[in-house]
Amino acid sequence: MRTPLLAGNWKLNCTRDEARALAQAIVDGSKNATDREVMIAPTFVSLDVVADVVAGSNVGLGAQDVYWEASGAFTGEVSAPMLKDARCTHAIIGHSERRQFFGETDYTVARKVAAAVENDLSPVVCVGESLDQREAGTTMGVIEKQIAGGLCELPAEHYPKLVIAYEPVWAIGTGKVATPDQAEDVHAHIRKLLETVLTPAAASATRILYGGSVKPDNVDELMTRPNVDGALVGGASLKADDFLRIVNFAS
């Protein structure tokens, strides 16, 4: 009942020409993937060229971040109305790299989520524990705080737009993927949390993506788990063939 979403986070990669070519290959290779959704998130400066390529296709366009104020003296930021104007459909919010390197907190995540939904963007809210936290046995507590804090300003009318991405920090870019059972454990816990943070109906409708070293050779098994509704892919989304294999996972 939840449509799978396969999303590529290009991070700080691709010139505009490279972005255009990669997007074109993904659009061409996703044409028959009609029972699933696809989204790609280039850098801000490539949004317009990628928007031209994905126009009229079944591939959505994501920003990698968003600022909560609409306009003003906020040097370096890009706002939700501007992203909407640039034809974005999604905004990734609270990625662990932003939490780790750019001071993102649950408070800033909450404000960004509110700004995104008010401007008709689907927020892809990222949560996940570090290796230290996993080894200390505090994973679920960390996730609870990130979910409750990050969603506290999300109005009920916008619950249907929400996407969650569980990305254990220790699995990002390391080649060390969470096992399907590890992913399922946390995803099931997140869904339970959403029952109280949102509503039971919203909890069962919300897509929960897994991210962290998703590759062509592990996506099929991850996607067999009942609470894994898609993937947020970094490295493998930069190679059209690899990403298309992930988009076309065996269902």
Q: Which residues sit at the interface with ligand 13P, rule CB under 6 A?
A: 9, 95, 167, 172-173, 211-214, 232-236
Stated as kind and residue range, the H or E segment containing 148 is helix 139-150
Q: CB-based contacts of 98: which residues, under 8 Å, 6+ apart?
A: 65, 104
Angle, nearest 10°, between helix axes 16-29 and 240-247?
Answer: 40
Write down the catalytic residue from 95, 97, 129, 158.
95
For ligand 13P, the closer of residues 173 and 200 by Cβ is 173
CB of 8 to ligand 13P, least distance (A): 8
For ligand 13P, the closer of residues 149 and 234 by Cβ is 234
CB of 169 to ligand 13P, least distance (A): 9
CB of 176 to ligand 13P, least distance (A): 9
Q: Strand 230-233 relative to strand 122-127: parallel, antiparallel, unpaired?
A: unpaired
Tell me the backbone φ, ψ of residue 131, rounded to 5 degrees: -60, -45
The token duo for 187 is 């995803």
Is 158 among the residues known to form the active site? no
Positive or negative: CA dihedral 240, 100, 112, 124: positive
Find residue 231's DSSP bridge partners: 6, 210
For ligand 13P, the closer of residues 199 and 219 by Cβ is 219
For ligand 13P, the closer of residues 54 and 214 by Cβ is 214
Positive or negative: CA dihedral 247, 33, 62, 206: negative
Nearest residue to ligand 13P, scored by beta-carbon proximity: 234
CB of 152 to ligand 13P, least distance (A): 23
Residue with tokens 């679920």: 140
Is 90 among the residues known to form the active site? no
The token duo for 170 is 């220790």
For ligand 13P, the closer of residues 51 and 238 by Cβ is 238
The token duo for 200 is 């039971």
- DSSP 3-state of 118: helix
CB of 116 to ligand 13P, least distance (A): 16
Write down the catalytic residue from 37, 104, 129, 167.
167
The residues annotated with a catalytic role in the active site are: 95, 167
